[in-house]
């Protein structure tokens, strides 16, 4: 775990809100010079604190009208079965997230689709055909109340 000083927390807070900010803009906002800000950002990237920088795209504006949370129970929990499922599920572009869980459910997926018919086709032709899948439960997301990847730095 990396300990952060106040400047580093401020830098990460700004970058989590707007990753397009330059080191000069960040330096100006936090009352520092550009050089130490750039060094810290570079260090965050080298050490993996900043994993990647991406644009967050609105799926609905591109025609993906629904989001579905899918809970999957496997028929067995052999390492090979789980590994094969993970490799296969990652090949489907509509699967936005896949999480291996402890508890009653083995995997939780977040899937996007154009509409319910599109999701049903994905479900029937892909998920229901996968080796080792015992049960599938789907819930259509009505509204995202909170949707963030922002790490709460104030809790450190």
**What is the model's pLDDT at position 2?**
80
- Whether residue 138 is predicted with pLDDT greater than 90 in this model: the reply is yes
- Specify the fold of 6-47: Arc Repressor Mutant, subunit A (1.10.10)
Structure-token pair, residue 131: 């080796």
Three-state SS at 34? helix
SS (H, E, C) 43-78: HHHHHCCCCCCCCCCCCHHHCCCEEEEEEEEECCCC
Helices 6-17 + 23-30 axis angle, to 10:
120
Average pLDDT, integer, range 3-25: 96
Does residue 16 contact residue 151 with C-beta atoms inside 8 Å? yes
**What is the model's pLDDT at position 58?**
95
- Whether residue 1 is predicted with pLDDT greater than 90 in this model: the reply is no
Does residue 101 contact residue 117 with C-beta atoms inside 8 Å? no
Domain span(s) for CATH 3.30.70.920 in the chain: 60-140
Q: Exposed (0-12), middle (13-18) or buried (19+): which is 15, by Cβ within 10 Å?
A: middle
Structure-token pair, residue 14: 């700004």
Average pLDDT, integer, range 50-67: 96
The CATH number corresponding to 60-140 among 3.20.20.120, 3.40.190.10, 3.90.1300.10, 3.30.70.920 equals 3.30.70.920
Task: Give percent of the chain above pLDDT 90.
Answer: 96
Domain span(s) for CATH 1.10.10.10 in the chain: 6-47
């Amino acid at each position: 775990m990396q300990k952060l000083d106040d400047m580093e927390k401020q830098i990460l807070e700004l970058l989590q809100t707007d990753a397009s900010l330059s080191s000069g803009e960040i330096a100006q906002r936090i009352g520092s010079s550009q050089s130490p800000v750039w060094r810290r950002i570079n260090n965050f990237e080298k050490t993996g604190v900043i994993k990647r920088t991406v644009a967050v795209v609105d799926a609905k504006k591109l025609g993906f009208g629904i989001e579905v949370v899918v809970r999957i129970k496997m028929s067995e929990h052999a390492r090979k079965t789980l590994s094969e499922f993970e490799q296969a599920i990652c090949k489907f572009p509509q699967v936005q997230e896949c999480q291996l869980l402890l508890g009653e459910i083995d995997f939780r997926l977040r899937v996007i689709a154009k509409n319910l018919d599109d999701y049903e086709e994905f479900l029937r032709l892909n998920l229901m055909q996968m080796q080792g899948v015992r049960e599938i439960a789907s819930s259509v997301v009505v509204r995202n109340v909170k949707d963030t990847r922002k790490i709460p730095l104030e809790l450190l």
